[in-house]
Every structure is written in structure tokens, then in C-alpha cells.
């Protein structure tokens, strides 16, 4: 028997899908109330519905299929059986079968797998006869259920002209249990449009399968041997043909399993494999032995990044001769490094790169010496002669030691990337409230020649007694005397009293100490009465109009994921998702396309929702049950997305109509938490500025008095109004530079820099030379007159 349908929405959807006489309707709006077990029952029914069914029934089918793609349905044994029966019945009309959906249903089966050998034989026979092998691993899995003859037929077809590594994988798959073969098929993501996303735990399952783990090392070592044979000339060179397409997939899967296991032998193997596939033999050939495998290994590193893999890729990148490959690798590495920041326990494992205990590396260059120093602002390269610092790179070094100069510049770049990755990893661990052993933290992080520059400028809490935490900033304070196994964690303002937060902010301003990321000045987002009223969603950042491409870039930078918006079928709505707190919570930010006629897409923002993992499935959670730190950090991200990309923050926005009305409303509205922190920072900064006597904070504005007029700069959008009638003054900020560059800012905030740049400009308005700005000011002055 199948699982019982409990919710009235699931019952109605099932009737629409299965009863042609039922006149009711159901669709996308019902799926949030359907459980994962109910969704599995509905998926089996949806597959059997043919395309010529009435629109209301097809709408229900498409809604169920969309939910299956984005969720993790669970299938009862009866639902699995009915789905395989539907796959067989669908052959007549579809001329194809979604075996991937069938196999993934079995992986998610809540009981003993049903006996589907008869259906499996029909499916395999049909697809082989039609030469439909576009779901190779699902086909292998189903062939194993059908019988030995079907397995051997599919295995032979699978290996034909696909290379020895692919053949070796099939031989190994023949030794696995059916469920283990299904796990391998689960990782093959490119061949189904109606299946659930790959189970997050499938890689851990494969990594715990001894036969597969043994194959992983054999396959990667065979790849190294083959690539090195090409370099040695014993195997003929053909551009990008070192491995077949199937072998590239096999090796990518093997690399992912090795990365999940964090195998100690993998870094050394990658140090050999990556250069061997990135550079053709011979000095002038610009192609690669396997560009496909190079990119696939980087993608594997994005899924399961390690510092060693990033270093190996950068080393290989420096050797590539093909003009376009380094640029593509740089784009991919940005994603890999962002992902590494989310894998906190691995990202903290930083190589020393040859730096001494004091964070200094020295290299001789004739009578000169290169000095690479780890400073608070980053790693810098300088030059000395007889112990005296030089202002620039000496000409003799440039001529005679060009290789060393290039090597050291690349080292500086790599070290700065590692420091940025470490900072993002530490910040990313805030929601998980990661705790370290004090002794390890002191030696491996604070005492690290590179990491120490980041760690000592952050506030930490040390547990000095059970339940008692003492906050310390290593840069300025002594560390407590505690045992090596005492707990230490990053400080967060949401756990502190306002007076303590103000004290830390005062100290940073007094010492002019900028932290690696915004910590003492970090915004706090608490639940509002309106959010308690809506219960399970927040409209705090809804109904904003934003530049979509910019927001999508921020999604990636902050480790949110989701489908792209665009003027295509089902491209009008999307949900960005992040899983904070070690994957125990999932946050969703809905948004949709508002206008796609312009060169730049405009999106409209919607709700923020939270789900909690319960018994393997995600369940909607009331906002009041979300841990305050998790809620605050998620809402901080969403505030960033809206604040940075809003049309209200665009000084050149000139569109008329509803979007102009939004610009006027949001561009001068109430301050968000980010803008409130910006205001507090300005309270500390203004007395130290040379224009202090011309500035005053008035509510949501910084008021600036110039010679030609008085101006109000909004602290959220940085838009400017002129007194007395609040005429808008358009000032497009310069991309770089400006007076604010000479002012110490306690944290990196582009909008704060813009506010200060405009304040300096307008305080000295009599010396403005930009005609477009002067014309606007003079028009305003006539009104004042």
C-alpha cells in the first residue's frame, strides 16, 4: 500500500491527476502544504499523465514535477512500483523513459524495494533497441534489476569506445549491490528534467563504499600515468582527446569521493595530474591534453574544495599556454574559493607558503633582497638593499631576475586569496557557532604566519569556566590562562549587551583598527511584531525593485543558490536558497522578474522563509523558532542584496512611472539595520573630519552646509536632496578615490565611502568644477533666492 495522503491539498492534487471526472483544480499553490512522503505518491501519478490531458490536469502535473526537482520526495514501495509501471506505459507515447526518476525513487524508498524485474526488462529492452543510452548510469542500475543478460548487454554498450577507465568502472559496478549502483546513478545529474536533485548525502554514501573507494584511487592513478605518458611522448598527443567524455565524468566522480574523504594521497596526485593535462608536450603547442578534465576537476573542487586543490589549480593555471583557459579558470576559482569558505573545517587548514613565524619571507636577488610581509591590509612585496627599503622594484632585478619577480608576485596573490578565504570561512561559521579547542586555536590559527593577521584582529570568546565566556581581541589584549581543551569561538554582538558592543566599537575607532570582516559593527536583526504576526514568513525586504544581474552576483558571493531569472519558460520566478547553521536550517528568498525589456533585468523581491531539517526532510518553521543568530545573519544577507542592488541606490535612474515612484519612496525611506550601523559609525567619524563644523546628523540624513547651499545625504541610498524644497541632486560617485579614501573607516562599506565623498564635495561646493553638478546647484540656489 502507498503512503496515506493526509493533507487536503495532496488529496485534491491526486484527484486532479488520476480522476478525469473530477472538476476541481490544484497546482503550484498547494505544494508548500504537501509533505515529502505525499509528494512521492503524487510523482508516481503525475508521470502517467499524457500531454493531451486537459490544461487543469497538466498544470497539476507540472506543479508536482517542479516540486520534485526542488525538494526531496520520499517514495513508498508501492509508489516506486507504480512509477515503474508508469515508465513502461509511457514508452508508447513518450518513446523514452525517465529512468533517472525511477532510480532516484528507489534511492528514496521508505521500505524494501519492490520487485520490478519485469518492468526493468521491458525498459532495458526498449531503450537498447532504440539506442537510447542518454541515461547511462540509470540504465545500468535498471539493467541490474532486470537480470544478468540485460546487465551484460548494457555494460557492453556502456563501455564501447569509452576508454579503459570507463570500462574499469563498469567492472567495479558489477560487484556492487543494487542500491550502491543507484548511488552512482544519483551522481549523474545531466539526464533528467523531472527528478529530485541529487541527495546531499549520496557522496558520503559512496565515500563509505569500500569497493568504490578502492576504485577511486586506481582510476586517478591510471589517469596520471596516461597523462604523463602523453607528456613523455610514448602516447600520441591529440588536443583534448587524452580522455573520453565518459572517462572525464568517471574521473570527476572519483575526485569528488576522494575530496569528500579528504584523502592524504590526493594533493600529491593532483600536483602531478593537473599540470600534465593543462599543458601540451612541446614548447609551442597552445592546446591542452584534456581541457575537459581540467575543468571537471575544478568543478569537483567547487563541490568539495580543499586549500591544496586550489593551490594545485593555480599552479597548473600558471603553466597553461591556451589564451582563453586561464580566464575561465579564474572565474571557476572564484566559485571554488567561495565554496571553500563554507567548508570551515577544511578552509582553516592553511599552508604556510614559506613564511616565517613573524609573517615575513625573504629571497635574495643578487645584491638586493625581496621582502614579502603579511600586514593587516594584506600581503605586500617590497625590496631592500643592504637592509634599506626601496620605493620600487630595482631595474637590475627586473632585468636579471624576472622569473623570481613573477614567482613572488604570484605568491603574494595566492597568499592574499588564502587570507580572504580564511576570513570568509570564519564569517561563514558564525551561524554554526563553530567552537575550537583553545590550544589548537592558539597554535594553528593565532600563531600561524599567515592566518594570525586575520585572527588577531577579530574578537573571540574563551570559555574560562563552564558557561562563562570572556571576550578578547588578541591584537590589543592578553589571552586568558585556560586549559588547551577549553572552548573558543567567534564573538557575535547578538549574544552581548549593547554597552559591550559600544565599548568594542569605541576601541576599534580609538585604535583605528579595521577588522577582516564586519564584526563589532555587525548589524543585528531581531524579529519584529509584523513578523510574529505573519508567523512563517517575513515581508521585511519584499516589494523592492533591484538590478537582477547585480543581485545574482551577490547570491553567488554569499553562497546562496537558485535558478536564474530570464525571459524564458518558467524564468519569471525564482527562490534563492542558503543552508546556514551547518545545514540544519534552510533560508529561502523569493524574487521574480519585474521587467525584461531593458538591457538590465529588473527583479522584484518577495518573502523570506525558513525551513528546519526534520527526519530527513525540510519543514517550514515559524520565524519565532529560528535561532536568533541564524535569523539575524540570513536577514543581514537579504538586506545586503536589496540595499546594494536596489534601484533606489542608483543615482542615474531616470525611468518614469511605477519604478520611478519606487525610487523616490525607497531612496529616501526609513533606515535599515545596515544604514543604522552606518549612522553610528559616522557619529564617531565626524568629529575627526576637517569638515566636522559643516556636518550634522539629522535623522536618516547627513546634513552638509556648503557655500552655495545646504544638502541632505540619505544614509541608506546616499542620494542627495537640496534645501529648502528637497530638490534631488544627481551626483554619480567616482569608481575609485575621493576624499573618503584618506579617512579611516572601521569596516569596508562602499555606501559609507560614497556618503563621505559626497559630504567632502558639497562642503566645499564653491570649488566644484563639474558642470552637470553646478547647473543643478545653481537652479536650486535660484529657488532659495
Nearest alpha carbon to residue 412 among 345, 355, 343, 468: 355
Question: DSSP assignment of 482-528, as one string?
Answer: --TT-EEEE--GGGS-HHHHHHHHHHHHHHT---SSS-TT----PPP
- For the chain, the 3-state helix, strand and coil shares in percent, each to the nearest 5, are 50, 15, 35
What confidence score (pLDDT) does residue 193 get? Answer: 67
* The C-alpha cell that represents 427 in the structure block: 564569517
CA dist., res. 401 & res. 562, Å (int): 48
Domain identity same for 91 and 216: no
Would you tell me how many other CB atoms lie within 10 Å of the CB of residue 278? 27
Task: Say how many residues make up the chain.
Answer: 785
Residues 579 and 618 in one domain: yes
Sign for the CA dihedral angle at 134, 214, 316, 227 comes to: negative
d(CA 524, CA 677): 9
Residue that finishes a domain, picked among 306, 322, 342: 342
Q: How is residue 16 written as a grid cell?
A: 486532479
Pick from 168, 198, 228: which residue ends a domain? Answer: 198
Q: Burial, 239: exposed, middle or buried (Cβ in 10 Å; 0-12, 13-18, 19+)?
A: middle
Rounded CA separation 686/4 (Å): 66
Element (H, E) at 383: strand 378-385
Q: What is the pLDDT of residue 600?
A: 77
Q: Do 454 and 313 share a structural domain?
A: no
Strands 585-595 and 602-614: antiparallel
Nearest to 410 by CA among 326, 494, 510, 484: 326
Which uninterrupted H or E stretch holds 464? strand 460-465
Residue range(s) defining the domain that contains residue 543: 529-663
| Beta-carbon contacts of residue 400 (< 8 Å; ≥ 6 apart) | 365, 366
Tell me, what DSSP letter sits at residue 468? Answer: E
The cell for 345 is 573545517
Query: Do 216 and 192 sit in the same domain of this protein?
Result: no
Q: At what angle do helices 291-303 and 325-342 cross, to 10 degrees?
A: 20
Give the separation between CA 635 and CA 540, rounded to whole angstroms.
9
| 363 belongs to a structural domain | no
Please name the residue ranges forming H helices in 319-450: 325-342, 344-347, 395-400, 402-428, 438-440
Question: Do 602 and 745 have their domain in common?
Answer: no
Share of the chain above pLDDT 70, in %: 95
Contacts of 184 (CB under 8 A, 6+ apart): 137, 141, 173, 176, 206, 212, 253
Cα distances (Å, whole numbers) of residue 178 to 126, 522, 616, 710, 753: 21, 51, 22, 76, 60
* 131 and 223 part of one domain: no
pLDDT score, position 657:
58
The SS3 call for residue 472 is strand
Q: Which residues contact 644 (CB under 8 A, 6 or more apart)?
A: 550, 551, 554, 750, 751
Residue 533 CA, chain-centre distance (Å), reads 31
Measured between alpha carbons, how far is 223 from 258 in angstroms, rounded to an integer?
14
Examine the domain organization and report whether 505 and 539 are in the same domain.
no
Looking at the fold, whether 596 and 648 belong to one and the same domain comes out as yes
**Which cell numbers in the block locate residue 358?**
613573524
- Are 100 and 159 members of one domain? yes
Task: Say if CB 426 and CB 458 are below 8 A apart.
Answer: yes
C-alpha grid cell for residue 769? 568644477
360 within a domain of the structure (yes/no): no
The whole-number pLDDT of residue 783 equals: 44
Using alpha carbons, select from 174, 269, 268 the residue that is nearest to residue 219.
Answer: 269
- pLDDT, position 636: 94
DSSP lists the bridge partners of residue 179 as: none
Contact 449, 422 (CB under 8 A): no
CB under 8 Å to 495, separation ≥6 — which residues? 461, 629
Whether 298 is covered by a domain: the verdict is: yes
Q: Do residue 326 and residue 266 come from a single domain?
A: yes
CATH number at residue 289: 1.25.40
727 and 780 inside one domain: yes
Q: Which residue has the cell 587524452?
A: 242
CA–CA dist 577, 555 (Å, integer)? 9
Residue with cell 490544484: 26
Look up cell 580566464; give the residue: 327
Report if residue 761 sits inside a domain: yes
In a domain, 349, yes or no: no
Angle between helices 36-47 and 8-18 (to 10 degrees): 10
What's the confidence (pLDDT) of residue 652? 67
pLDDT tens digits, one per residue of 204-223? 999 999 999 999 999 999 99
Averaged pLDDT, groups of 10, the chain, 785 residues long: 77 93 89 90 88 88 88 92 93 87 93 95 93 90 95 93 94 95 88 72 93 97 96 92 95 96 93 93 86 95 89 85 87 80 74 86 94 91 94 93 92 85 84 90 91 94 95 92 95 95 93 93 94 94 92 88 80 89 90 78 94 82 95 95 87 64 79 91 91 94 93 92 87 62 78 92 91 83 49
Q: Is residue 395 part of a domain?
A: no
If DSSP codes are grouped into helix, strand and coil, which group holds residue 60? helix
**Residues 170, 24: one domain?**
yes
pLDDT at 735: 57
* Gap between the Cα atoms of 643 and 717, Å rounded: 8
Global pTM value: 0.74
Q: Is the peptide bond between 139 and the residue preceding it cis, with omega within 30 degrees of 0?
A: no
What b/e readout covers 557-582, taking b as 16+ CB neighbours within 10 angstroms?
Answer: ebbbebeebeeeeeeeebbbbbbbbe
The pLDDT value given to residue 698: 93
What domain count does the chain have?
5
Identify the CATH number of the domain in which residue 656 sits. 3.30.310
Pick the closest to residue 416 from 516, 331, 321, 328 (CA basis).
516
Query: Which of these three, 286, 312, 342, is where a domain ends?
Result: 342
547: part of which helix (H) or strand (E)? strand 545-547
Residue 3 DSSP symbol: P
Residue 366, domain member (yes or no):
no
Could you tell me how far CA 105 lies from the centroid of its own chain? Answer: 28
Return the H-helix or E-strand segment holding 368: strand 368-375
Measure the CA angle with vertex 301, ends 296 and 303; round to 5°: 95
Q: Is residue 713 part of a domain?
A: yes
Amino acid at each position: 500500500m502507498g503512503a496515506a495522503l493526509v493533507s487536503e491539498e495532496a488529496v485534491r492534487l491526486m484527484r486532479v491527476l488520476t480522476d478525469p471526472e473530477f472538476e476541481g483544480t490544484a497546482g503550484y499553490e498547494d505544494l508548500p502544504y504537501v509533505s515529502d512522503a505525499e509528494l512521492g505518491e503524487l510523482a508516481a501519478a503525475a508521470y502517467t499523465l499524457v500531454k493531451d490531458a486537459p490544461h487543469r490536469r497538466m498544470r497539476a502535473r507540472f506543479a508536482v514535477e517542479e516540486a520534485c526537482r526542488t525538494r526531496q520526495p520520499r517514495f513508498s514501495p508501492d509508489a516506486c512500483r507504480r512509477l515503474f509501471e508508469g515508465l513502461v506505459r509511457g514508452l508508447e507515447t513518450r518513446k523514452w523513459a525517465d529512468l533517472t526518476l525511477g532510480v532516484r525513487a528507489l534511492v528514496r524508498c521508505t521500505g524494501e524495494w519492490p520487485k520490478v524485474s519485469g518492468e526493468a526488462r521491458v525498459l532495458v529492452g526498449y531503450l537498447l533497441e532504440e539506442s537510447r543510452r542518454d541515461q547511462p548510469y540509470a540504465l545500468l542500475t535498471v539493467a541490474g534489476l532486470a537480470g544478468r543478460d540485460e546487465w551484460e548487454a548494457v555494460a557492453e554498450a556502456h563501455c564501447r569506445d569509452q576508454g579503459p577507465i570507463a570500462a574499469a568502472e563498469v567492472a567495479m559496478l558489477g560487484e556492487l549491490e543494487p542500491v550502491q549502483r543507484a548511488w552512482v546513478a544519483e551522481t549523474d545529474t545531466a539526464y533528467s528534467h523531472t527528478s529530485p536533485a541529487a541527495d546531499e548525502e549520496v557522496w558520503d554514501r559512496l565515500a563509505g563504499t569500500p569497493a568504490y573507494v578502492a576504485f577511486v584511487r586506481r582510476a586517478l592513478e591510471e589517469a596520471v600515468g596516461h597523462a604523463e605518458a602523453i607528456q613523455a611522448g610514448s602516447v600520441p598527443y591529440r588536443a583534448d582527446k587524452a580522455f573520453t567524455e565518459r572517462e572525464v565524468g568517471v574521473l570527476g566522480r572519483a575526485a569528488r569521493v576522494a575530496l569528500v574523504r579528504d584523502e592524504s594521497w590526493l594533493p600529491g596526485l593532483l600536483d602531478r595530474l593537473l599540470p600534465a593535462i593543462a599543458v601540451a608536450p612541446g614548447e609551442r603547442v597552445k592546446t591542452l591534453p584534456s581541457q575537459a578534465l581540467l575543468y571537471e576537476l575544478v568543478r569537483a573542487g567547487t563541490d568539495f574544495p580543499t586549500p591544496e586543490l586550489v593551490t594545485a589549480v593555480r599552479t597548473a593555471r600558471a603553466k597553461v599556454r591556451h589564451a582563453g583557459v586561464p580566464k575561465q579558470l579564474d572565474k571557476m576559482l572564484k566559485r571554488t574559493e567561495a565554496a571553500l569558505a563554507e567548508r570551515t573545517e577544511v578552509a582553516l587548514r592553511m599552508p604556510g607558503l614559506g613564511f616565517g613565524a613573524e609573517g615575513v619571507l625573504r629571497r635574495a636577488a643578487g645584491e638586493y633582497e625581496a621582502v614579502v610581509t603579511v600586514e593587516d591590509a594584506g600581503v605586500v612585496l617590497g625590496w631592500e638593499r643592504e637592509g634599506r627599503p626601496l620605493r620600487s622594484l630595482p631595474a637590475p632585478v627586473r632585468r636579471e631576475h624576472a622569473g623570481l619577480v613573477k614567482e613572488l608576485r604570484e605568491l603574494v596573490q595566492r597568499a592574499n586569496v588564502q587570507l580572504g578565504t580564511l576570513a570568509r570561512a570564519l564569517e561563514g561559521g558564525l551561524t554554526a557557532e563553530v567552537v575550537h579547542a583553545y590550544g589548537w586555536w592558539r597554535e594553528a590559527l593565532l600563531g600561524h604566519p599567515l592566518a594570525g593577521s586575520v585572527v588577531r584582529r577579530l574578537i573571540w570568546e574563551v570559555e574560562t569556566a563552564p558557561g562563562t565566556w570572556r571576550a578578547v581581541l588578541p591584537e590589543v589584549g592578553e589571552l586568558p590562562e585556560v586549559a588547551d581543551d577549553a572552548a573558543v569561538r567567534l564573538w557575535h554582538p547578538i549574544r552581548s549587551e549593547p554597552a559591550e558592543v559600544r565599548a568594542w566599537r569605541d576601541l576599534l575607532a580609538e585604535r583605528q583598527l579595521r577588522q577582516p570582516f564586519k564584526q563589532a559593527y555587525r548589524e543585528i536583526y531581531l524579529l519584529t511584531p509584523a513578523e510574529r504576526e505573519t508567523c512563517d514568513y517575513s515581508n521585511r525586504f519584499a516589494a523592492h525593485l533591484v538590478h537582477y544581474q547585480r543581485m545574482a552576483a551577490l547570491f553567488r558571493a554569499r553562497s546562496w543558490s537558485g535558478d536564474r531569472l530570464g525571459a524564458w519558460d518558467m524564468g519569471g520566478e525564482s527562490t534563492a536558497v542558503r543552508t546556514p547553521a551547518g545545514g540544519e536550517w534552510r533560508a529561502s528568498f523569493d524574487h521574480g522578474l519585474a521587467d525584461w525589456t531593458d538591457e538590465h533585468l529588473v527583479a522584484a523581491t518577495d518573502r523570506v522563509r525558513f525551513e528546519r531539517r526534520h527526519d530527513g526532510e525540510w519543514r517550514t518553521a515559524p520565524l519565532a523558532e529560528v535561532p536568533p543568530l541564524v535569523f539575524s545573519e540570513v536577514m543581514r544577507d537579504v538586506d545586503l542584496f536589496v540595499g546594494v542592488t536596489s534601484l533606489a541606490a542608483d543615482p542615474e535612474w531616470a525611468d518614469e512611472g511605477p519604478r520611478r515612484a519606487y525610487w523616490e519612496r525607497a531612496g529616501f525611506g526609513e533606515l535599515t539595520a545596515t544604514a543604522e550601523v552606518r549612522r553610528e559609525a559616522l557619529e564617531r567619524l565626524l568629529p575627526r573630519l576637517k569638515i566636522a563644523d559643516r556636518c550634522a546628523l539629522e535623522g536618516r540624513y547627513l546634513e552638509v552646509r556648503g557655500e552655495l547651499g545646504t544638502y541632505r545625504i540619505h544614509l541608506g541610498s546616499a542620494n542627495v536632496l537640496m534645501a529648502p524644497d528637497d530638490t534631488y541632486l544627481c551626483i554619480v560617485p567616482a569608481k575609485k578615490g575621493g576624499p573618503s579614501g584618506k579617512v579611516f573607516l572601521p569596516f569596508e562599506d562602499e555606501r559609507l565611502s560614497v556618503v563621505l565623498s559626497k559630504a567632502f564635495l558639497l562642503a566645499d561646493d564653491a570649488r566644484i568644477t563639474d558642470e552637470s553638478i553646478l547647473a543643478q546647484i545653481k537652479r536650486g540656489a535660484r529657488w532659495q533666492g
